[in-house]
Amino acid sequence: MAENASDGGPTSALPSDVVRARRDNGESGDGRHRRGAASRRLIMDAACGLVTTTGVESLTHRRVAAAAGMPPARVSYHFPTVDDLLLGAAQEYLQRFEADLRERASRAARGEESVVQMCTALLHELVTDGAPAFLAMVGVRVSLARRGICVQDPGIVPLVQSFGVSESRARSIGASMFGFAVLAAADPSPTSRAEVESHVRTVIGGRP
């Protein structure tokens, strides 16, 4: 039975301030959805942080719950298995990476920076300050692959194609830059911006 004042259901007999209080307390579907989304966000932030700082093996529901400041049962409700946590963390990282990539690409499309500058800045960030999180997520993907779980990259190849290259070349560019990033991020010696730019220019074939 629908419970709203317009159809004469049970809430129509309640004072309006009580109905508002129930809605404010999140008893509506929208309220539950917002709380659920907020919980998932906290869980993913905690899971990504744990994997980055202590490795894939450290990920358990109890540790994620402690880091997120919530009961383990709530973590298990949203992510029943550790594989679900790992997959969620990988997807969260990729979504954030793609959002950053799209923002950089839009600046390049507007002529605010060249394609070489865009790719160089992105890769240099990935192999310096962003290296711990990047390597952690590589580890997550390898761990999931061993379990037969594939993580889909969200639309990066089409984004590269938008700069006027074929799909096969876009895939080659993405694979080359990914491989370079893994090797550079894993190398204890610092990678200079000039080294990154040299690789970018080689891969994209002299684009300005």
Of the pLDDT bands very low, low, confident and very high (cuts 50, 70, 90), residue 53 is very high
Of the pLDDT bands very low, low, confident and very high (cuts 50, 70, 90), residue 6 is very low
Return the pLDDT at 125. Answer: 95
Domain 24-80 CATH class label: mainly alpha
Q: Which residue has the higher pLDDT, 59 or 6?
A: 59
Local structure of 134: helix, strand or coil: helix
Return the pLDDT at 95. Answer: 87
d(CA 38, CA 32): 10
Q: What value does the mean pLDDT of the chain take?
A: 83
Return the domain boundaries, the chain.
Answer: 24-80, 91-208
Return the pLDDT at 17. Answer: 45
For 190-205, the pLDDT digits (tens) are: 999 999 999 999 998 7
For 24-44, the pLDDT digits (tens) are: 454 456 777 888 889 999 999
75 and 53 Cβ atoms separated by less than 8 Å: no
For 69-95, the pLDDT digits (tens) are: 999 999 999 999 999 999 999 998 988
Rg (CA), the chain: 23
173 and 160 Cβ atoms separated by less than 8 Å: yes
For 146-156, the pLDDT digits (tens) are: 999 988 776 67
Local structure of 122: helix, strand or coil: helix
